Amino acid sequence: MKFGFHRISGLSLKLALTITVVVAGVAFTIGAVMVTIDWQRFHRELEGKALLLAHSVSATAADDILRKDHWSLFKTLKKMAKEGPDELRETRIVTAMIIDPEGLVLAHLHPNDHPLGLPLTHRDEREEQLSIAIRKIRSPRIFSSDIGIFSNRRFLEGVVPIYSDQILLGFVRVRLSHQELFQKAQRSALIILGLTLALVVLGSLLGATISRRITKPLTALTEGMEAVGRGELSGIGPVLVKDDDELGRLAATFNNMARELAEKKSLEEQIAVSEKLVALGRISAGVAHEINNPLAGLMNCIDTLKKHPNDQELVDRYLPLLDKGLNRIKNIVESLLIELRAEDAQVTDNASSLEDLRGIVESEISGRNIDFVWDNDLGQDVLINKRRVQQIVLNLLKNSIQAVPEAGMVKFKTFREGNSVILEVSDNGSGIPPEYRNQLFDPFFTTKNNGTGLGLWIVYRLVESMRGVIEVETEVGKGTLFQVTLPTMEVYT
């Protein structure tokens, strides 16, 4: 047997990838949140360090400013930059300075670039705007550069005003590099990235394990369902699922269904055999009855002619009876042979093969004033069982032609509806009386003087052999419609 493993393996891959992506997404989100939190924490720590360094200078700067002791101010800045508190020694100080309220330099770590007593030299307009903003503050503040995040010019600056008897003497500015902040954030990000990758690997393994556990029973169920779809009920073994979960219950339900279907199929086969035997018995009895009756009359005619071979009056009377009786027997035998040949036929062709019947039906009508409408709307892509469908259409059309009076109408129409092929034969004849409707498809039932009663029975048997449905709508005095619904070829072949 051939099964579709590619579909299950595709599901397994999708499930494993989905779990991996979900785990990776969750890990990345948690990692991003943790990196953000660490960045904010490190930023706050750096702000605290800048203010702490600025306060350490401002503590002794007021007296030096009042004495105009610029050398002491410079030494205080150098000492802060070299020594500083133990917890701040690893922090890189970009620059530090003391300026007066007018922006003149009182002390600077880089005196060659920023001479004492002169306005602070600015590298660009941003630096100048920053100095203007700093001279306006009256309490400790933190300023940060607005340079791009990956620029080596990013800094964080702590500014502390210097007061003496509530008189503003100047400002201490300590500028720290963001390098330490980046290094800590980078270490944190690398750790989180490593954990994320580890979780992705674990998620992949977990996804593969879970998908295998789920898809393995699904594979077995799929194989079983495909076998059921092909009608291979006898060869289906039970689907084994050890876990007592939803999949386990699904497998148990499928096993019960498969077992019941196998039992049902076996029972249907037995019933079909019984029905065939019953049908064979009915046909045998009908054939015996329909042939024995004319045979008895034929034998009497022959015996009489033997006794009176020279009686021309008897010859003229009995020869037509012999001809009629023998033709009836011939028609019955031919009808049975046609039914047997059509029911066993497996010739597949497209729906255009129905056009072969059009000429046959028109020749059948020839000489009668009957309006015949032919509307075959099935395309070349629709396949049919040629012999069976042709026999159904031909029998129904012949039946309708015989039922309509002069100036009557017979219409044949075909079309496709979903997965079904619809055949319709209608006429405006006398219709079928209610008392005859339950016997329409019985063998040898006929209301015609020269009918065999096998035409509609053959139609019914052929439709049933293709698992189709035949329906009749009729009204006395208005006509009859026979509608045959057949599944498409891929279903019933």
The string of pLDDT tens digits covering residues 120-139 is: 888 888 888 988 999 999 99
The pLDDT-based confidence of 350 (bands split at 50, 70, 90) is confident
* H helix intervals, 90-178: 125-134
Query: In the predicted model, is pLDDT for residue 270 greater than 70?
Result: yes
Q: Comparing 18 with 227, which gets the higher pLDDT?
A: 18
Query: In the predicted model, is pLDDT for residue 172 greater than 80?
Result: yes
CATH 3.30.565.10 for domain 346-492, yes or no, is yes
pLDDT at 484: 93
Q: Which two tokens stand for residue 109?
A: 């770590």
Q: Which two tokens stand for residue 313?
A: 């009056």
pLDDT at 37: 83
> Mean of the pLDDT values across residues 349-358?
80
Helices and strands, number each (H, E), in the chain:
10, 12
Query: In the predicted model, is pLDDT for residue 204 greater than 80?
Result: no
Q: What letter represents residue 176's amino acid?
A: L
- d(CA 134, CA 128) in angstroms, rounded, equals 10
Q: What letter represents residue 429's amino acid?
A: G
Query: In the predicted model, is pLDDT for residue 49 greater than 90?
Result: no
Torsion angle of C-alpha atoms 331, 334, 339, 345, degrees rounded to 10: -150
The string of pLDDT tens digits covering residues 79-91 is: 888 765 544 445 6
pLDDT at 395: 85
Report phi then psi at 428, rounded to 5.
-110, 40
CATH 1.10.357 for domain 260-344, yes or no, is no
Q: Comparing 285 with 264, which gets the higher pLDDT?
A: 264
Highest mean predicted confidence (pLDDT) among 54-68, 175-189, 240-254: 54-68
- Average pLDDT in the chain: 77
Domain ranges of the chain: 5-185, 260-344, 346-492
Which is it for strands 469-475 and 420-427: parallel, antiparallel or unpaired?
unpaired
> Mean of the pLDDT values across residues 1-13?
49
DSSP state for residue 122 in the 8-state scheme: -
Percent of residues, the chain, with pLDDT higher than 70: 71
- d(CA 164, CA 101) in angstroms, rounded, equals 13
Q: What SS3 state is found at 177? A: strand
Query: In the predicted model, is pLDDT for residue 290 greater than 70?
Result: no
pLDDT at 433: 87
Which is it for strands 420-427 and 479-487: parallel, antiparallel or unpaired?
antiparallel
pLDDT at 149: 44
- d(CA 364, CA 325) in angstroms, rounded, equals 23
- d(CA 256, CA 239) in angstroms, rounded, equals 10
Query: In the predicted model, is pLDDT for residue 200 greater than 90?
Result: no
CA nearest to 127, candidates 87, 150, 97: 97
Per the confidence metrics, is the pTM higher than 0.85?
Answer: no
The pLDDT-based confidence of 230 (bands split at 50, 70, 90) is low
The string of pLDDT tens digits covering residues 433-491 is: 888 888 777 776 676 666 566 778 888 888 888 889 999 999 888 889 999 999 876 54
Q: Comparing 165 with 360, which gets the higher pLDDT?
A: 165
The domain defined by 5-185 folds into: Beta-Lactamase (3.30.450)
Highest mean predicted confidence (pLDDT) among 160-164, 406-410, 431-435: 160-164
3-state secondary structure 384-413: EEHHHHHHHHHHHHHHHHHHCCCCEEEEEE
Which is it for strands 370-376 and 383-385: parallel, antiparallel or unpaired?
unpaired
Highest mean predicted confidence (pLDDT) among 181-195, 247-261, 281-295, 477-491: 477-491
Q: In what order do the strands lie in the sheet with 155-164?
A: 105-108, 93-99, 167-177, 155-164, 141-144
Q: Which two tokens stand for residue 290?
A: 């329909």
